[in-house]
Amino acid sequence: MTAQDTADTTGTGESATDSPVIRREDPLGSITTAAYKYNNWGRWGEDDVLGTLNFIDTAKRIQAAALVTTGEAFSLSQPFDTNGPQKGWRRRTNPVHTMTDTGVDAERGNQGFPHGFGGADDVIAMPLQCSTQWDGLGHIFDRGQAWNGRAAGDVVTSEGDLYTGIETAAAKIVTRGVLLDVGRALGPELGHPEGELPDGFAITAEHLERTIELQGSSSTVGRGDIVVIRTGQYTRVRREGWGDYAGGAAPGLSFSTAPWLHTTEIAGIATDTWGFEVRPNEFDGAFQPLHQIAIPNLGLFLGEMWDPDALAQACAADGKYDFLLTAAPLPITGAVGSPVNPIALR
């Protein structure tokens, strides 16, 4: 098979030609080539721990703040509860929320406080990547190497991520956000007027640029932005049930978008899917190959399982697709990912 052989990458049964970035007969070679060509190691010095978050500077934050004109605020987070998407893969479970003090205890005087004082308390136990979350730079390795060329075993040990723990990003992710509603923009052109891309649909750079063209100038993507991709999959599973949302087939970014992710100089990218990239993956026998380029080689922050639906409706109504985005991870020392409640302000 050559790079010019055809395969179904659209999720619709149609034939599409392999990208020069994708050599299906040679997944390791494709990954190796992309890791070399689309690489930011050393760009911000050998001690860097922020990767593409370095693209967010004070001027970018001032630009983003000026986008707030209506005061509308949208949470881009899915719920954190036991009804979430996880099915136990790699010991990822849904949150377990337990009340340690309740109104019943207060009402019955069982709490031991004076003069009628009572209260409620609770605790939660959950994997850090069980719902809306950021992948940190210590989350994925490429052939034994972590972000900036460090040895994976030196970076993440039993004590956590010793270099790029998610706490390093705690005050960094305040910037211009851009919604690319690929499902709504391209759905009609691709035969999906409901605005939901089918599972297995590979979103290419051409799809992203076409979405920008259709949405207008407010969705132009540039340095320091965080791009939020709406495929419509989360819309569908909310209507039909979780099914195989966690780890199953899904629309998502094609491996061929690696050069676009590099040249746009975006600070991060998030999707409404479990795994960011198209599933099944585009190489036989591969597992999340675009992660292998984006995180350890580009230093790119990836958001997964975000909920852009309410924001998308507001953007479609007035044609304005950029906003102030704040999406701070919890500063959990040494963590390789974090839950997040992203807020879009328009």
Task: Write the DSSP string, 184-214.
Answer: HHHTTTTT-TTS-PPTT-EE-HHHHHHHHHH
Which of 33, 39, 36, 61 lies closest to 52 in space, CA to CA?
39
Peptide bond into 259 cis (omega under 30): no
Q: Are residues 38 and 121 in the same domain?
A: no
> Would you give the distance in Å from CA 225 to the centre of its chain?
13
Determine what percent of the chain is predicted with pLDDT higher than 70.
95
The per-residue pLDDT for range 21-56, each reduced to its tens digit, is 888 888 999 999 999 999 999 999 999 999 999 999
Do 215 and 237 share a domain, yes or no? yes
148 located within any domain: yes
Q: Per the domain annotation, does 90 fall within a domain?
A: no
Kindly give the pairing relationship between strand 174-180 and strand 226-229. parallel
Predicted TM-score (pTM) above 0.85: yes
Q: Which of 105-119, 270-284, 324-338 has the lowest mean pLDDT?
A: 105-119
Beta bridge partners of 77: 306
pLDDT the model gives residue 188: 87
Task: With respect to residue 217, please indicate whether it lies within any of the assigned structural domains.
Answer: yes
For residues 187 and 334, membership in a common domain is answered with yes
CB–CB of 130/113 below 8 Å? no
> Which pLDDT belongs to residue 15?
30
With bands split at pLDDT 50, 70 and 90, how would you rate the model's confidence at 284? confident
What is the H or E stretch that residue 235 is in? helix 233-240
Indicate if 309 and 240 belong to the same structural domain.
Answer: yes
Mean pLDDT over the full length of the chain: 92
Looking at this protein, which amino acid is placed at residue 172?
K
CATH of the domain at 59: 3.50.30.50
pLDDT tens column, 146-158: 999 999 999 999 9
Residues 43 and 121 in one domain: no
Q: 324 is in which domain, residue-wise?
A: 6-85+128-345
CB 335 within 8 A of CB 165: yes
| Same-domain pairing of 55 and 145 | yes
Segment 72-100 mean pLDDT = 90
What is the share, in percent, of the chain residues with pLDDT greater than 90?
A: 83
Domain total in the chain: 2
CB 304, CB 135: distance < 8 Å: yes
Tell me what pLDDT residue 192 has.
Answer: 82
Distance CA 133, CA 202 (A): 22
